[in-house]
Chain A
Amino acid sequence: MTAAAGFEAVIGLEVHVQLKTMTKLFCGCRNQYGAEPNEHICAVCTGQPGVLPVLNERALRLAIQAGVALECEIAPRTKFDRKNYFYPDLPKGYQISQFDRPINGPGGLSIEDDLGRPRRIGILRAHLEEDAGKTMHPEGQPYSLVDFNRAGIPLLEIVSEPELHSPAEAHRYLTALKRILRFARVSDCDMEQGSLRCDANISIRPVGSKELFTRTEIKNLNSFRNVERALHHEIERQIDIVSKGGAVVQETRKWFEAEERTDSMRSKEESHDYRYFPDPDLPEFVIDPELVAEIKADLPELPARRLERYARQLGLPAELAVLLSSEPELSDYFDQCVALDSTDSTDSPDSTEPAQIGNYIAGSLLQIAHQKETTVDQIGVPPAGLLGVLQRVHDGTLSHQAARKVLTALAATGHPLDRIVKDLGLAQISDREALLAIVDTVLSTSDQAVTEFREGKQAALNSLIGGVMKATKGKANPNLVRELLLERLNAPPGH
């Protein structure tokens, strides 16, 4: 809140996400990031004369999937419109978009406000449209280049209600939105690769006022952090103008990251008249309620539900539950481990606690994933592998410390667990008879410690345990060692 100045901000965000389809929205070209320029183009997505768009049904399905995840009303009938303007990255001179009949109507999502209270942010609409190509301006050259790989990639434009009241709230909205869309398997939402882009609309008003004041639009926001920073600057700029008796001008402003400021891009008068009209090349689409029901039924569990399940049902500590429900790959991996563990343990009572699985994922696997710059499901430790290691911890053949080493080796080599344990010489000695022999040897050479213990010095026990561990090069099961030592020390003398 910027209540200090007596004003509050009114922020609405327009977020574009690329849908994760195999092919583009209206042609069969691949939807793939990072290809050579103009590798994935055809007559349709380069706007040759005489070609026509054919809707990718998968994209429509993903759009509905996103709508369902964002609790939107799914339109029973939808259509496409042409948005006309000229730019070299726009091959047809118009973008196929949706104007008055978006596939997804009003919806919303939950965030925490600045005081940590839950707050629902409304979503006005989320419609399907095609992406444009990418222009590049080689430095010092008198020409520009266009890459049409991106032209025609399906986009979902998600427009929030102007219900965000601070840059921090805007940041949390974006984080929540991204998380939902990633869990819904709709988009990668990777800002660096351009699969999520954001523009912000912002105005200020006196605290308590219900009126909407003149707003500006900010473009060129390339990270959530920059959204927050740019909004912060724009709020200050607007308050400054209004405080000095001036009026905010309706315009589009561009954020300059390096200079930390926004600057005017074009005024309202210069704004385009897009001349929207229904695209005569595409029919109206009737959305079968059964399809929507099917998508709803198949929708992957969303992050909020998972968080609740982890905390309530699995009893994870809050911090761990939040962490494990933050990314779909991580969360799915954890769920797979828990599921596998409970199927394995139908016969045996000693299943691993979900919290312990979670701790291992959060502690060891995330670290490995981070080093490998990938996600936990990709590091080469399948759920069965992790459970195998945990089983050995449980039955005492691996110490926690050794288990971490085994997991690292497993990720690196992919070898069978037995072999890794053997190669690293990490098997914990839990064999009672074998340990007893070592305990006896240590006791026989530690008269002083034994005497001290019998005199009541508990610390002497630790020194004896240390002696056994040293003798076994740390491989002895420490709990068993303690047990055996106490057994011997408390036994009647002369035994």
Chain B
Amino acid sequence: MSKAAPEARSVASIRDDVAEGRLKIVDLIEETLARIERLDGQLGAFLWNDRDRALERARDLDRRVKAGDASGTLLGVPVAVKDNICVSRSPCTAGSRILKDYHPPHDAHAVERLQAEGAVIVGKTNCDEFAMGSSTENSAYQVTRNPHDLTRVPGGSSGGSTAAVAAGLVPVSLGSDTGGSIRQPAALCGVVGFRPTYGTVSRYGLVAFASSLDQIGPIGTSVRDVALVASAISGYDRRDSTSLPIEARDYASSLTSNLEGVRIGIHRDYYESLEDEQIRVRVKLAIQELREAGARIIRIDDLDLLSRFAIPTYYLVANSEASSNLSRFDGLRYGPRIEGDDLLGTYRGTRGLLFGDEAIRRILLGTFALSSGYYDAYYKKALQVRRLFREAYGAAFEKVDLIIGATSPVSAFRLGQKIDDPLTMYQCDVLTVPASLAGLPAVSVPCGFTDERLPTGLQIIGPPLSDAAVLSCAFAYERRSGFKGLLANLEPAS
């Protein structure tokens, strides 16, 4: 399974090679598209590639480089975009049949920012339908496989974007993280996945799943690459009223491997209580590394009482919002429509047949939680508990600067293993949803392999707007551990 990892080309090296005339963007994009064509059949990461447009864009950028009027931190960098993020004139299905052939008229803010920095979008990647899932198996279109073991899931819901990076098809990609949909697949695929502070990246153009939790973020093979993309896509956008009025940040240049005096919290849920011994050992080794790097390791207990409420709270909030967010998909204005005898029949036909099981399950759960008579017991209660999570994190971050632990309680599981058992599937998110509920920045960095050669991830969580500190800690750990770029090689052995 583990062949020699393909050479990972960093974002910075691409940009520098392009800017200094050593690399033509069109050659790089040709090469990227050829690799996708050659390897993605095994992987199933991409739903859509627009070869012609990517090459046209590459040639245009090359002309501008030659004319000396091209710049940008991502100049020439091929990027894959999760299919729930709008790219104008490209299909955007969010992994659902209800959006089959839908072409949005608008670019997501994050996509505009990527393009402004000179990136080239090479395709849209597979995901769980409306980002609902932890294995990418809920996509209506195809299965995506984990490049480290093609019989296993890549995690989800950003499974396509993550697998594409882990297989070396693209250096970086965009995903979205509602309850862990960037961090969990990053852990399962052995790459870096970053969820920025809620509000630092505009949600404009992200197909809404749970608005108060959704956040776009980057996936890459190194912390520096991820930091470069995070910097590019962050910053205020007036089209998103929950966008924070802050300047775009330069996370990449503030990366430091010095952890001297940094107070790092550990919590039993993310460490000692982990059932999977292999993951527990990886976290233990990571803690040692960080201690050796100068960090002070401090045990925290502020979340003790809350941790068992994380999953119910998250699913009540997320599903309630989803039940409303998904109401617009009625087949009347866009997307396919299944005509009934009357209006109700058309609604029933379209929504009943074109949404997948998981989407329907969540719409029903959310509708129930918001119904009169149940609102107080479920949705309102969940909002109250959510506030307690924020307060508990607030208390914890008085004592520590960052909190670390496992990203996922399990490593990559087999395709089909959990798909028929939603509750077990939901448990995959137990370590990622707390940070989501509190809107915190969190990153997953490769943390070595299990005995089965499956990647594991170390999660680093910080207080709101501590994105730079979170990435710096990840950078320091990446430096010391040497786990940078756990790429899988899918090329046939020569």
Contact = CB atoms under 8 A, between A and B. Distances in A.
Contact of B106 (A47, A50, A280): A50
A52 interface: yes
A337 B375 CA distance: 59
A360 interface: no
Contact of A54 (B238, B332, B371): B238
Nearest to B335: A49
Contacts of B104: 43, 48-50
B372 A275 contact: yes
A92 B327 contact: yes
B108 A92 contact: no
B84 to A, nearest CB: 8
Interface string B311-341: 0000000001101101111101110000000
Contacts of A105: none
A94 interface: yes
A77 to B, nearest CB: 15
Interface in B350-381: 367, 370-372, 375, 379
Contacts of B211: 280-281
B391 interface: no
B168 interface: no
B347 A47 contact: no
A18 to B, nearest CB: 22
B445 interface: no
Interface in B74-91: 84-86
B175 interface: no
Given A93-B327, A280-B212, A52 B334 contact: no
A146 B334 CA distance: 13
A346 B328 CA distance: 65
B92 interface: yes
B410 interface: no
A216 B372 CA distance: 21
Chain B CB within 10 Å, residue with most, of A46, A50, A94, A146: A50
A53 B94 contact: no
A46 B104 CA distance: 12
Given A273-B372, A280-B212, A50 B241 contact: no
A283 interface: yes
B371 A51 contact: no
B327 A94 contact: yes
A47 B328 contact: yes
Interface in A34-89: 43, 46-55, 82, 84, 86, 88
B241 A283 contact: yes
A277 interface: yes
Interface string A211-251: 00000000000000000000000000000000000000000
Contacts of B367: 275
B370 A49 contact: no
B14 interface: no
Contact of B239 (A52, A82, A92): A52
Interface in A244-299: 273, 275-277, 280-283
Most buried by B among A86, A275, A282: A275
A385 interface: no
Interface size class of A (residues with CB under 8 A): 20 to 34
B379 A277 contact: yes
Contacts of B210: 280
A91 interface: yes
Contact of B370 (A55, A275, A283): A275
B242 interface: yes
B204 interface: yes
A100 to B, nearest CB: 11
A146 B343 CA distance: 13
Contact of B371 (A92, A93, A273, A280): A273
Contacts of A275: 323-324, 367, 370-372, 375
B102 interface: yes
A277 B327 contact: no
Contact of B330 (A46, A50, A93): A93
Interface in A360-386: none
A273 B372 CA distance: 7
A281 B84 CA distance: 17
A48 B240 contact: no
B327 A84 contact: yes
A53 B325 CA distance: 13
B241 to A, nearest CB: 5
Contact of A94 (B102, B207, B324): B324
Contact of B204 (A52, A93, A273, A276): A52
Contact of A88 (B105, B238, B343, B375): B343
A277 B371 CA distance: 10
Given A49-B94, A49-B102, A282 B328 contact: no
A452 B244 CA distance: 98
A46 B208 contact: no
B182 interface: no
B205 interface: yes
Contacts of A84: 323-324, 327, 370
B333 A49 contact: no
A49 to B, nearest CB: 4
A49 B99 CA distance: 9
A50 B209 CA distance: 9
Nearest to A87: B343
Interface of A: 43, 46-55, 82, 84, 86, 88, 91-94, 146, 273, 275-277, 280-283
- Nearest 5 interchain pairs by C-beta: A93-B327, A280-B211, A280-B212, A275-B370, A49-B207
Given A50-B205, A86-B327, A94-B327, 10 more contacts: A43-B106, A47-B333, A49-B86, A49-B92, A49-B104, A51-B239, A54-B240, A88-B330, A93-B324, A275-B375
6 contacts: A43-B106, A49-B329, A51-B205, A93-B330, A273-B371, A277-B370
